[in-house]
Amino acid sequence: MGREHHARRVFEGVKRAFVTDPAKRRMTEAIPIVDDALAYRIIDLAMRIGAAMLSIGASAREVAQATLRITRAFGLKKAHVDVTFTSITVSDHRDGAGSPVTLMQVVQSIGADHQKLQRLQALVDQIERGMELHDAVTEFHRVRRIPFMYREGIVVVVSGLLAVAVALMFHASWVVLLSAGFAALVVAAAQMGLGRARVPVFFSQVAGGIVLTAVTALVAWLGRMGVEPFVDVRANLVVAAGIVLMLAGVAVVGAAQDAIDGFSLTATGRILDLTIMTMGLVVGILVGLQVAESLGVGIPVPSNEIMMGPWPFQLVGALVIASAVAVINGGGPRIIGVSTLLGALAWVGSFAFERLVDLPSASGAFGGALLASLVGSVLAVKLHVPSVAVTTAAIIPLVPGAALFRALLSIVQSGSEADHLLVAFGGLLDVIMIGIALAAGATLGIFLGAPLRVRLSDRKMRFLPAARPTSGAGTAPLEIVPAEPREIPTEPLPDPVAEPAGAEEPPITRPFDVSDLRDER
The model's pLDDT over 330-351, given as tens digits with 9 standing for 90+, comes to: 888 888 888 888 888 888 888 8
CA neighbor of 316 nearest in space, from 475, 164, 149: 164
Q: What's the predicted TM-score (pTM) here? A: 0.76
Q: What is the mean pLDDT of residues 128-136?
A: 88
Q: Under DSSP, is residue 459 helix (H, G, I), strand (E, B) or coil?
A: strand
**Average pLDDT of the residues in 484-506:** 48
Cβ-based neighbours of 158, under 8 Å, separated by 6 or more: 150, 324, 327, 328
Strand partners, 83: 88
Q: What is the mean pLDDT of the chain?
A: 77
118 neighbors 332 (Cβ within 8 angstroms): yes
Q: What is the pLDDT of residue 167?
A: 87
Per-residue model confidence (pLDDT) at position 97: 60
Task: Express each pLDDT in 499-510 by its tens digit.
Answer: 444 444 444 444
389 has a pLDDT exceeding 50: yes
d(C-alpha 2, C-alpha 18), whole Å:
25
- Residue partners of 492: CB distance under 8 A and separation at least 6: 35, 37, 38
Q: Averaged over 473-488, what is the pLDDT? A: 47
DSSP code, position 483: S
Strand, coil or helix: 99: coil
- On the question of pLDDT at 317 being above 50, the answer is yes
Q: What is the mean pLDDT of residues 407-421?
A: 69
Residue 155, CA distances (Å) to 62, 149, 188 in order: 27, 10, 8
Which one is predicted more confidently, 313 or 392?
313
pLDDT at residue 476 in the model: 42
**Maximum average pLDDT range among 5-9, 34-38, 139-143, 279-283:** 139-143
Residue 137 has a pLDDT of 92
Q: How far apart are CA 320 and CA 116, in angstroms?
A: 23
Rounded Cα distance, 225 and 230, in Å: 9
**3 state SS of 332:** coil
pLDDT of residue 44: 92
Q: pLDDT digits over 138-191, tens only?
A: 999 999 888 888 888 898 999 889 889 888 888 888 888 888 888 889 888 888
- Determine the pLDDT at residue 152: 87
CA–CA dist 232, 220 (Å, integer): 9
Does residue 372 or residue 418 have the better pLDDT?
372
What integer pLDDT is reported at residue 510 of this predicted model? Answer: 46
What is the pLDDT confidence band of residue 67, given thresholds at 50, 70 and 90?
Answer: very high
> What pLDDT, on a 0 to 100 scale, did the predictor assign at position 49?
94
List pLDDT tens digits, range 436-469: 888 788 878 877 876 666 666 555 544 444 444 4
pLDDT, greater one: 15 or 194: 194
pLDDT of res. 455 = 64
pLDDT tens across 68-102, in order? 999 988 888 888 888 888 889 998 887 666 678 88
Q: Is the backbone of residue 296 left (phi > 0), alpha (psi -120 to 50) or beta?
A: left
| pLDDT of amino acid 465 | 43
Q: What is the residue type of 267?
A: A
Pairing label, strands 79-83, 459-463: unpaired
Average pLDDT over residues 396-425: 72
* Residue 521: pLDDT over 80: no
115-129, 152-166, 208-222, 413-427: segment of lowest average pLDDT:
413-427
State whether residue 383 is helix, strand or coil.
helix
Closest CA to 164 of 172, 155, 156: 172
The dihedral region occupied by 44, where left means phi > 0, alpha psi between -120 and 50, and beta the remainder, is alpha
Of 323 and 385, which is predicted with more confidence?
323
Determine phi and psi for 40, rounding to 5 degrees.
Answer: -60, -45
